[in-house]
Amino acid sequence: MEKFENISELILALLLWITSNTDYKNPSQMPNIEFLEQEKLSEIACGRDCEILAYTPIKPKYTIYLSTHLDPMTDVCHRGILLHELIHIVQDDQNIFSEYEQKTKKHLREMDALVKHNIYLSQYGKKILYSNGFAAKFKTEQKNTLYC
């Protein structure tokens, strides 16, 4: 797996992957990544305690919140989560699916990001499980090396 000097270098590499493997172009401004404690991230994203690990808010634009439990610099599964959120930044920047009403637009953007997330992980022999339109985890203690 590649090594990166810092988060900015990693973001550039992930944006390069996105622009090379999709029809998307680079966003008009570089996203800002903020690592938040789980409690704060849950409150912002869900308004209550929840298991969310990453969130791209509508405002402020070009911002991604990641849980402090994630280490995208060293873990490919966590890197895939960051890639997924970067796709949401690019989708918003380029008004992807904006012709649909809000709920449909959100669903289409999520499906699109999940598919691209899985394509990215497949290059590392990994994949994500998803159900009901969201990334999911196996409810088992058994270590699974295929699924993130």
Task: Give the pLDDT confidence of 53-86 residue by residue, as tens digits.
Answer: 999 999 999 999 999 999 999 999 999 999 999 9
Tell me the pTM.
Answer: 0.90
* Residue with token string 């699109």: 112
By the 8 A CB rule, do 129 and 109 touch? Answer: no
130: tokens are 């998803």
Of 23, 8, 13, the C-alpha closest to 90 is: 23
**Structural domain that includes position 30:** 7-136
18: tokens are 């996105």
Residue 102 is assigned to a structural domain of this protein: yes
Residue 142 is assigned to a structural domain of this protein: no
Which DSSP category does 85 fall into? H
Which range among 7-21, 84-98, 121-135 shows the weakest confidence by mean pLDDT? 121-135
- The domain that holds 55 is classified in CATH as 3.30.2010
